[in-house]
Amino acid sequence: MSTATVNNKNRLRSAQDMKSDAKRNNKRRINRTLKYALLIFFVIIVLLPAYVLFITSFKGTADADPSRAWYLPQTWETGGWAKAWTTLAPSLGRTVILVVPSALISAFLGSINGYVLAKWRFPGANIVFTLILFGMFIPYQAVMIPLTQLVSDLGVPQGIPSLLLLHIVYGLPICTLIFRNYYATVPDELIEAARMDGAGILRTYGSVIFPISAPGFVVVLIWQFTSAWNDYLFAAFFSSGRNGPVTIALSFLAGGQLTDYAASMAGALIASVPTLIVYILLGKYFVGGLMSGSVKG
Amino acid sequence: MLKRAKIWGPGVLLLAPTMILVGVFVYWLIIENFRVSLTNQHTAKPSNKYVGFENYTNLLADPNFQHSLWNLLILTIVFLGGTLIFGFLWAWILEQPAKGEGFFRSVYLFPMSVSFIASGVVWRWLLSSLQTSQPGGERTTGLNRLLDSVGLGAFQNDWWSNPTWGIAAIAVPAVWQLSGYVMALFLAGFRGIPDELREAARIDGCTEWKLYRHVIFPQLSPVMLSAVIIIGHMSLKLFDLIRAIVPDANTYDVQVPATMMWVKYIGSDYADAAAIGTILLVLVAFVVIPYLWYTSRAEKR
């Protein structure tokens, strides 16, 4: 904030110094007003669904009607929230048990893979990398039928255990990609120096690479956390309302013909809170990491 | 030779678990899925009779499946077009440092953190074409009502309950959700353009438009390509949003291959489900393989 004001002052002063004609200043002011008007207009558009979600979650049954979607509640009620909470609470617990380990494990494996592919290259490493990467883009529908068979043949129980396995496996390609791009920016000399000191592949990882991996881990963990938390496709095929994650429970709460709108809107908010918190707290790092990754592309 | 193996060996060994997992869970299963799609396993009872490409020809001749391909095309065009337009516009506005830039960026990005299932809850309402009869006569609902009250009543429509264009309504929440992500990609692209390049162009007397036409846009094209690939392949796979907005799984109006595959799976028609999966894979591969080839080539240079 303080740097922003300093910058602004500098800009103002240099504008004065230049004694540029008033016309240009005027144009700039119009441009700026237009710019903020546009930005605020889009903020309103983007927030509209969130507004409806929020106010409807506090409405009573009769009040929660699509024709009254834009109006504030006649009376603020919390019945919807209570119902949504009791319906979703068990699945929320299961989702945490699913999402945290799967994010940690695939991030760790991705970090090792990215390190090998960026800094400990072997002949054919590029081909191997491309083959792994392709796994990130496949539509999972193209493996789903035999996958259900394979998972049951392996004896992995339906519900959280199956989903844990699947999120780790199918998270590997993107984790590997992000870490490989991240480690590509690490100077080779660091690795060489460790090698000269006689450190092996794991020692080098532990002493040189891992300690500087925090930014990569932040991006990968956020990514994996959100995509596993929000997954519905695997959950639909490998779990039920009884043993599934929160997306499944929410789809049951909100589906059907006689929907309790207040409760389903409250449920949608409850189910979104963890990922929202992650974005609000860590979104900056996420965008930063995304940028470093995509610029390298 | 042995010495080299000693250098490469540990790396290959560390990579081995991932190579095995990806080999089995991606490549072997793709082959296995293709095998199932060539059988007549149309019921839960195991059946392995080889029928060649019969399932594929039947599917492609099925008006339901043809319609789902049409829907997929419309969905992808609107989804891609929308996210690129809004993503670029927002990045372009936010490109110059501005007060509160972080706030705007966060707001535009936040829908991405929400699951399609959760956002589908509210979008199902907003895109409702229901007319509820309340005391006081026929009342429109959701977005239609909003459009009505701000004087844009002409834009009211029946959203996803239209068999030909209804799928475009499904793309609205998808655009809402991912424009921020495309914005972040474009912002990264803008930041990657060195200031000297712009200065040089300005000193050479480039107009703003020429600057964009000859300097900025060419520099942004790799980012744009990434955005097209990412959004395009998401669109081909889109499943949960449609399931969340349209409760009836078997609906014809907004069926896409991904949801039709689910319907076939629920009906234990594993061969047809596998065939749809393979068709989707081929569609994605058309987009992704040239891209992967291009990026690995670009990196070598």
Report the CATH number that the domain containing residue B292 is assigned in CATH. Answer: 1.10.3720.10
**In this predicted model, what pLDDT tens digit does every residue of B180-207 receive, in sequence order?**
999 988 988 888 788 888 888 878 877 7
Under an 8 A CB cutoff, do A135 and B22 touch?
Answer: yes
DSSP string, A227-261: HHHH--HHHHHH--TTT--HHHHHHHHH-SSS--H
- Decide if pLDDT at A292 tops 60: no
Under an 8 A CB cutoff, do B90 and A42 touch?
Answer: yes
DSSP string, A192-227: HHHHHTT--HHHHIIIIIGGG-HHHHHHHHHHHHHH
A172 band by pLDDT with thresholds 50, 70 and 90: very high
Residue B43 lies in a domain: no
Under an 8 A CB cutoff, do B222 and A7 touch?
Answer: no
Long-range contacts of range B211-218, CB-CB < 8 Å, 24 or more positions apart? B216/B190
Give the mean model confidence (pLDDT) for residues A51-70.
Answer: 82
Under an 8 A CB cutoff, do A66 and B128 touch?
Answer: yes
Q: Which residues of A touch B239 (CB under 8 A)?
A: 141, 232-233
Residue B177 lies in a domain: yes
Compute the nearest-CA separation of B91 from chain A (Å): 11
- B53 and B147 in contact (C-beta within 8 Å)? no
Widest pairwise Cα distance in chain B = 88
**Measured distance CA(B161)–CA(B57) in Å, rounded:** 29
Under an 8 A CB cutoff, do B99 and A4 touch?
Answer: yes
Q: Which of A35, A202, A254 minimises the CB distance to B93?
A: A35
To 10 degrees, the CA torsion angle through B70, B73, B79, B85? -130
pLDDT, residue B135, reads 43
DSSP B26: I
Q: Which of B21, B106, B229 minimises the CB distance to A283?
A: B106
Under an 8 A CB cutoff, do A43 and B104 touch?
Answer: yes
Under an 8 A CB cutoff, do A35 and B98 touch?
Answer: yes
Residue B202 lies in a domain: yes
Under an 8 A CB cutoff, do B185 and A290 touch?
Answer: yes
Under an 8 A CB cutoff, do A276 and B110 touch?
Answer: yes
Q: Which residues pair with B138 in a beta bridge?
A: B133
Mutation test of the interface with chain B: which of A31, A45, A46, A152, choosing the one with the most B Cβ atoms within 10 A?
A46
**In this predicted model, what pLDDT tens digit does every residue of B117-165 receive, in sequence order?**
999 988 888 887 655 544 444 456 667 767 666 666 656 666 666 777 7
The count of structural domains within chain B is: 1
Low-confidence winner among A2-11, A29-38, A105-114, A137-146 (lowest mean pLDDT)? A2-11
Q: Which of B27, B116, B295 minimises the CB distance to A297?
A: B295
Under an 8 A CB cutoff, do B11 and A122 touch?
Answer: yes
Residue B133 lies in a domain: no
Under an 8 A CB cutoff, do A116 and B15 touch?
Answer: yes
Name every residue whose Cβ is closer than 8 Å to that of residue B108 and which is 6 or more positions away in sequence: A42, A43, A46, B90, B179, B180, B183
Compute the nearest-CA separation of A203 from chain B (Å): 12
**In this predicted model, what pLDDT tens digit does every residue of B42-83 receive, in sequence order?**
888 887 888 889 999 999 999 999 999 999 999 999 999 999
Range of the domain at B213: 61-128+164-300
Q: Which of A43, A143, A283 minimises the CB distance to B26?
A: A143
**C-alpha torsion sign, points A13, A15, A21, A25:** negative
Q: How far is CA A97 from CA A219, A223, A225, A246, B268, in A?
A: 20, 17, 11, 11, 31
Q: Which residues of B touch A121 (CB under 8 A)?
A: 11
Compute the nearest-CA separation of A195 from chain B (Å): 11
Q: Which residues of A touch B246 (CB under 8 A)?
A: none
Q: Which two tokens stand for residue B277?
A: 């999966």
Compute the nearest-CA separation of B198 from chain A (Å): 18
Average pLDDT of chain A to the nearest whole number: 85
Half-sphere exposure (Cβ direction) of A15: Cα atoms closer than 13 Å: 14
Closest residue, chain B, to A229 (C-alpha): B115
Residue B154 lies in a domain: no
